[in-house]
Amino acid sequence: MRFRRGNRSTSRPVGTRLRLLGERVPALGFFALFAFLVMAVTPHWVPTAAAANSALRSLDGVNFGTDEFPCPDELRPRTEFWLRIFTEFERSQKVLHDQRYPWIIYEVIDVSGMEPDSASATENERIAFYQEQLDHMGSLSPSDYSAAQHRIATLLRDVPEEAKYTRAKERLRTQSGIRDNIRAGLVRSGRYMAYIHQTLARYGVPAEVAFLPHVESSFNPRAQSKAGASGLWQFTKGTAKLFMKVEGDIDERMDPYASSDAAARYLLNSYDKLGSWPLAVVSYNHGLAGVRRAMDALGTDDIARVLNEYDGPRFGFASQNFYCELLAAIEVGRNPQRYFGDIEIEPPALPVEFPLDHYVSFNALCMAFSMPRAEMSAWNPALGRSHVEGERHVPKGYVLRLPAETEDPQALYASIPSFELHAKAPRPRGHQVVAGDTLAKIAQRYRVSLADLRGMNGLEKSDRIYPGQVLALP
């Protein structure tokens, strides 16, 4: 999500795929591009959630929240905004809105069919247009407003701020729709949801948490963020190491089952420290210490006050909206047909879990369980390439995932020849350098420290390597 500032423009560009506020586009049905007018939140003011444009599908009948994850009136407009982002807008639609009060929407920009540079330029032009209008409005009398400025004034009329137009100018932000991602996530979720529910129940974590991967990864177990978060639950490496194995060439963040267990334990720990499931969810994005600072600063554990009033330097847009995104995801996850019609959700994939008693090669496991390498790898995505390609043995204690129909895994494991089973890790065979290799790439491939790789190969003073050279691995 990026906040873009671009070239200034005072007129609607010719030929762009824009639908300005108030336009009626019958072909779009209830997904028509719109202006969503409601009041803004302040600590002493509860905004309304009513739609101001008949082109906007009413959400009055939607009951957000549950006993464990309530949706106070103060958070309903913010939650409605995210439900619309999740269900009404595709990736090619950029919703231009107020960053503090996201349900105040100026315009929806359709960049479908555009090249990236053209789409970005169009987006920048529209942001610049509204910046200029807001800049002028601060010094104009309402009687001198243009039609566009009157429309903006109507959108912002209930924002109780001094110099509100000047402030609003600095809060313009675009949010891409993710309807397509959410739909794909609903399809994928069927594969993992049964396991996640079992795991949450085992730890006493509310079942609604099962919908959090819609927010984090759209249930894509291979998702990776620019911030370094990975997997279905989007753990960063530092946090992941507290709850699962992330070392060598094993990264359990990529395992949807191991990471589900870790997420449940993380949230349970946060709940034990904070005493609130909503705040535990916020900590998943903002960190436990960060949420404690917010509570201490405001002297409250009220979720609405924390989200609407706390202005800590690192409590940005993502943290402020994370809980409401979960509320929207719960609504979609419980009522997929309401928003997407009939969709075919993948069947559950409940694995057989088999802890290994020895260090054993990946090939030996594939042979014992009569599984192609690709299938075994798909069931065990935590295993990196060095394990799959036989350069390292799968370690003792690793929990092997196998298809549910696997019968008597202990007997199959016992069929592995004794010479393939090791009590200690066999020394890696090493890596033979090929053209294009660098020490950094090799360290990344085997998930080892670059410093350790240098030290083991006497390369502390130079990273120079050559094709055919065999490097020892830490």
* Number of structural domains in the chain: 4
Q: pLDDT tens, 192-221?
A: 999 999 999 999 999 999 999 999 999 999
- 157 and 191 assigned to the same domain: no
Model confidence at 432, pLDDT cuts 50, 70, 90, reads confident
SS3 (DSSP) at 110:
strand
Please provide the size of the chain in residues: 474
pLDDT at 204: 98
Model confidence at 53, pLDDT cuts 50, 70, 90, reads very low
- 187 and 333 assigned to the same domain: yes
- 265 and 123 assigned to the same domain: no
- 98 and 51 assigned to the same domain: yes
Model confidence at 34, pLDDT cuts 50, 70, 90, reads very low
- 184 and 317 assigned to the same domain: yes
- 400 and 318 assigned to the same domain: no
Whether 469 shows a pLDDT value over 90: the answer reads no
SS3 (DSSP) at 307:
helix
pLDDT at 56: 60
- 116 and 229 assigned to the same domain: no
Tokens of 90: 């595709």
Kindly report the CA angle at 274 between 291 and 69, in degrees rounded to 5? 90
Q: pLDDT tens, 271-324?
A: 999 999 999 999 999 999 999 999 999 999 999 999 999 999 999 999 999 999
**CATH (domain of 450):** 3.10.350.10
pLDDT at 6: 32
What end-to-end distance do the CA atoms of the chain give, in Å?
39
The whole domain housing 401 covers: 352-422
Asked which of 137, 158, 177 is the last residue of a domain, the reply is: 177
Evaluate whether residue 146 is within a structural domain: yes
Asked which of 158, 177, 196 is the last residue of a domain, the reply is: 177
Evaluate whether residue 347 is within a structural domain: no
Evaluate whether residue 1 is within a structural domain: no
SS3 (DSSP) at 212:
helix
- 156 and 257 assigned to the same domain: no
Evaluate whether residue 379 is within a structural domain: yes
Model confidence at 36, pLDDT cuts 50, 70, 90, reads very low
- 400 and 260 assigned to the same domain: no
- 451 and 381 assigned to the same domain: no
Q: Which residues contact 339 (CB under 8 A, 6 or more apart)?
A: 86, 87, 332
Asked which of 130, 154, 177 is the last residue of a domain, the reply is: 177
Whether 398 shows a pLDDT value over 90: the answer reads yes
- 258 and 287 assigned to the same domain: yes
Evaluate whether residue 3 is within a structural domain: no
CB 433 within 8 A of CB 467: yes
- 252 and 364 assigned to the same domain: no
Evaluate whether residue 345 is within a structural domain: no
Question: Mean pLDDT, the chain, as a whole number?
Answer: 88
Whether 222 shows a pLDDT value over 90: the answer reads yes
